[in-house]
């Protein structure tokens, strides 16, 4: 290989100074045979200018032009490729016409590429028929390739230009209507016709591109492998305007046909019929309002059925903030609130504060909804909205002034009702946090303010509470059951160890509680986490729902209380105690408040 390269370099060095002199073909053939076509071409051109009777030289000139065509960009340099293909055919044809047996025999060293074994004689050699057949095939292939190149470029150009036309038509619609809301709500026959034109032009672009791809598959390696990536147009304002590079492998095109077809379908099948459906829907809401006023009955179930009849999402697909939906939303919200008032009327005088608070909470939720939608509607630019929903406003309300009056009246009503319900909610919420006894109000929350005479230490939701009550510096224990009315119930006080359970020691004071399954017997245990004389001070009280306080006793435990349980059969209370080392011990107190002998349980 190195020797061949050195030989070629030697010939080039000899030929270059002699470029103005006569070129010897045998010297030139060295470059041609080594496929150094770029270096050989200028010498071959000079040679052929001076010699027109060398078929091998014409053959190589045809090969050179064929190689040039093979390296031309079929899309960017189409005409150059076609010219190279034509030149290759011309030179192959000259070679073919001058080729004869005499040429093959005299210059067989130039045709060694066609050297074959004769199947009859078994000897190697070059046949004229083989050379001619190869040249014929080359010319035929090049002529066919030229046709493919023309067709390929034609379909490519058609695809590119028709897509550009479709984009131009789309932009024209985009400029005229500006946004999807205006496009759909102000649509007419002229606009639909323009849409159809966009779809037709885009469809022709896609057909041209498909033809281009089909020819590309026949052509072979074109240097391009475009694959369509059709992008959906979801925003009239922002999509559909970016340019497309048809040279890229991933050819991203806006799908104008899909957009146009979907838009036309939306207008013809949904928007136009919807204009009438909106009127019908408004009438049905008005009928429900008359039913509520006349019969004083809730219409919530009817509203649920009514809501199912209209395709909210369908209209919002065309208009993200449709005026009719806000109007319907306001009128429905008002009916839902009024229906809630009717449903809650039988329970309004109930003694159950939590129940009444729940009712108020639901009513407040409904009135807030009405306040929200009426506020939103009042803030709209109704004059502009009427342009989009002229048919709806004029048919249902006569004029925009009537609609504005309805919105203002409803908004004022919502404001008044919201203020009233918020006051009721605040009052009942406060009442829910206190249990009113004959002598005092007991807090049902643990975050009492500093200095409060009550310090809740036990709070079992909706069952009972217990803690300390301080009068000056003297403390007593208290216990109270909790009922829905937050009045009456069992309320007892009992003595505790005032030397231990002082205000200052509240941070280290804890409590445990237990009760039977029926809520008739209650145990409350208070203890200090600080030892007194090497033991933990404890107060235990037993309360009956029917008889009140049974007993209150003070104890000293070796370990901290961890759990209290009620022994139903014996009437005893069992206290599990433990220490940081993991040891535990059970302390038993009999039904009269006396401590029994205890056994360790490790």
Determine what percent of the chain is predicted with pLDDT higher than 70.
95
- 510 and 532 in a single domain? The answer is yes
pLDDT per residue as tens digits for the range 426-444: 998 888 899 888 778 999 9
Exposure of 468 in the CB half-sphere (CA atoms within 13 A): 27
- 581 and 461 in a single domain? The answer is yes
- 20 and 77 in a single domain? The answer is yes
pLDDT per residue as tens digits for the range 133-157: 999 999 999 999 999 999 999 999 9
- 464 and 352 in a single domain? The answer is no
Task: Give 197-216 as a 3 state SS string.
Answer: HHHHHHHHHHHHHHHHHHHH
CA distance linking residue 433 with residue 447, whole number of Å: 11
Is the pLDDT at 112 greater than 50? The verdict is yes
Dihedral sign (CA 102, 108, 111, 112): positive
pTM attached to this predicted model: 0.56
Residue 75: CATH number of its domain: 1.25.40
- Output the pLDDT for position 335: 94
Q: List CB contacts of 318: < 8 A, sequence separation 6 or more.
A: 180, 181, 184, 185, 266, 270, 271
- Output the pLDDT for position 276: 86
Do residues 74 and 219 touch, judged by C-beta distance below 8 A? yes
- Output the pLDDT for position 566: 86
Do residues 73 and 149 touch, judged by C-beta distance below 8 A? no
User: How many distinct structural domains can be found in the chain?
Assistant: 3
pLDDT per residue as tens digits for the range 366-409: 999 999 999 999 999 988 888 888 889 999 999 989 999 999 99
Tell me which of 64-78, 243-257, 318-332 is least confident: 318-332
Do residues 32 and 44 touch, judged by C-beta distance below 8 A? yes
Q: Tell whether 254 is covered by a domain.
A: no
Determine what percent of the chain is predicted with pLDDT higher than 90.
70
- 390 and 452 in a single domain? The answer is no
- 299 and 393 in a single domain? The answer is yes
Which domain does 506 fall in, by range?
Answer: 435-589
- 494 and 527 in a single domain? The answer is yes
- Output the pLDDT for position 306: 76
Q: State the chain's mean pLDDT as an integer.
A: 90
- 416 and 443 in a single domain? The answer is no
Q: Tell whether 175 is covered by a domain.
A: no
- 386 and 320 in a single domain? The answer is yes
Is the pLDDT at 601 greater than 70? The verdict is no
Q: List CB contacts of 272: < 8 A, sequence separation 6 or more.
A: none
- 355 and 304 in a single domain? The answer is yes
Last residue of a domain, one of 125, 151, 177: 151
Is the pLDDT at 557 greater than 60? The verdict is yes
Tell me which of 95-99, 209-213, 291-295, 300-304 is least confident: 300-304
């Amino acid at each position: 290989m190195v020797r061949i390269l050195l030989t070629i370099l030697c010939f080039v060095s000899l030929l270059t100074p002699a470029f103005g002199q006569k070129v010897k073909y045998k010297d030139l053939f060295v470059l041609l045979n080594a496929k150094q076509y770029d270096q050989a071409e200028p010498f071959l051109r000079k040679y052929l200018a001076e010699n027109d009777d060398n078929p091998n030289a014409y053959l190589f000139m045809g090969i050179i032009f064929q190689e040039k065509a093979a390296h031309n960009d079929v899309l960017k340099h189409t005409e150059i490729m076609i010219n190279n293909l034509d030149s290759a055919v011309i030179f192959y044809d000259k070679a073919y016409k001058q080729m004869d047996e005499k040429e093959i025999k005299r210059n067989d060293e130039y045709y060694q590429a066609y050297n074959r074994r004769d199947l009859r004689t078994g000897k190697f050699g070059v046949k004229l028929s083989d050379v001619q057949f190869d040249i014929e095939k080359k010319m035929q292939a090049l002529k066919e390739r030229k046709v493919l190149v023309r067709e390929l470029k034609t379909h490519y150009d058609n695809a590119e230009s028709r897509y550009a036309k479709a984009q131009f038509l789309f932009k024209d619609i985009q400029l005229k209507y500006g946004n999807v809301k205006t496009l759909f709500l102000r649509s007419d026959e002229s606009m639909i016709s323009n849409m159809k034109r966009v779809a037709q032009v885009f469809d022709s672009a896609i057909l041209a591109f498909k033809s281009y791809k089909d020819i590309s598959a026949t052509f072979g390696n074109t240097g391009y492998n475009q694959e369509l990536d059709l992008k959906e147009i979801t925003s009239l304002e922002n999509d559909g305007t970016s340019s497309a590079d048809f040279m890229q492998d991933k050819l991203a095109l806006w799908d104008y046909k899909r957009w146009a077809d979907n838009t036309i379908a939306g207008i013809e099948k949904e928007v136009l019929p919807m204009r009438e459906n909106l009127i019908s829907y408004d009438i049905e809401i008005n009928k429900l309002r008359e039913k509520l006023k006349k019969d004083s009955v809730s219409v919530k179930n009817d509203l649920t059925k009514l809501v199912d009849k209209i395709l909210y999402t369908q209209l919002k697909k065309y208009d993200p903030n449709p005026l009719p939906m806000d109007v319907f939303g306001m009128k429905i919200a008002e009916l839902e609130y009024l229906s809630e008032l009717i449903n809650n009327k039988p329970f309004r005088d109930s003694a159950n504060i939590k129940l009444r608070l729940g009712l108020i909470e639901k009513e407040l939720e409904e009135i807030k909804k009405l306040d929200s939608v009426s506020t939103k509607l009042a803030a709209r630019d109704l004059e502009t909205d009427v342009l989009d929903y002229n048919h709806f406003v004029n048919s249902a309300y006569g004029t925009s002034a009537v609609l504005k009056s309805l919105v203002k009246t409803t908004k004022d009503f919502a404001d008044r009702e919201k203020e009233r319900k918020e006051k009721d909610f605040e009052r009942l919420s406060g009442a829910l946090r206190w249990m009113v006894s004959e002598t005092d109000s007991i807090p049902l929350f643990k975050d009492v303010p500093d200095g409060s005479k009550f310090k809740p230490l036990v709070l079992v939701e909706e069952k009972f509470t217990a803690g300390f009550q301080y009068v000056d510096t003297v403390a007593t224990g208290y216990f109270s059951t909790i009922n829905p009315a937050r009045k009456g119930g069992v309320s007892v006080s009992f003595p505790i160890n005032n030397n231990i359970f002082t205000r200052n020691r509240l941070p280290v004071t804890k409590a445990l509680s237990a009760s039977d399954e029926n809520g008739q017997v209650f145990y409350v245990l208070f203890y200090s986490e600080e030892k007194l004389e090497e033991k933990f001070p404890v107060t235990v009280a037993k309360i009956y729902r029917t008889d009140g306080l049974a007993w209150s006793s003070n104890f000293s435990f070796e370990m901290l209380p961890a759990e209290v349980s009620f022994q139903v059969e014996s009437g005893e209370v069992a206290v599990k105690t433990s220490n940081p080392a993991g040891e535990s011990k059970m302390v038993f107190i009999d039904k009269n408040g006396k401590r029994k002998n205890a056994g360790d349980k490790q």
